[in-house]
Structure 1
Amino acid sequence: MSDGIELKAKHSPQNQLGLDNQLLMFARHWYLSGAYLRCTSCNTGQKASEANLAFLHENTCRRADSQHYPWHELACILHWVPSEDVVYI
């Protein structure tokens, strides 16, 4: 992932930044608005159904020079949300 929000396979979030911190880092750059994830800099949105496409920022956006896949980044973070029968110790 391009924003440093990658979780390594088979490592709990406690061994990384922690689930809450991962979400806070993600929220610096993206926010959910209905069916769209939007860039906090340019407010451009991308639907979940377009998740496999690189995010297209406005040309004037300071983040436009990098390829981003925010839905994939969010899915990677949410992978660590515990189910009701799992407790991280």
Structure 2
Amino acid sequence: MSIGQQIREARDERGLTQTELAAQAGVSRPTVARVELGVAISVATLSRLADVLGMEVSLVRAKGRPARRNNPIGSSGPLTFD
């Protein structure tokens, strides 16, 4: 289960709307929506949402998938150092 799915599930279990969660966490409603859709999330935002939802950040992160590289080294040309 992705981090976004875990956040949404926890929000639903607590009967919170995205707007209510956003207000309690000090973030915008569109930020909550992006998190739930799996768009990039900062550690600070994750921590705020997890605190409001009573979740352990380490547990939320442990259940997520490992990050995938979009451009592995060497896929877009030679690796150079300036």
- TM exceeding 0.5: no
TM-score grouping bracket, smaller chain normalisation: under 0.3
TM (norm. structure 1) is 0.25
The one of the two structures with greater contact order (alpha-carbon pairs below 8 A, sep at least 6) is: 2
Bigger Rg, structure 1 or 2: 2
Q: Hey, which of these two has a bigger chunk of helix by percent?
A: 2
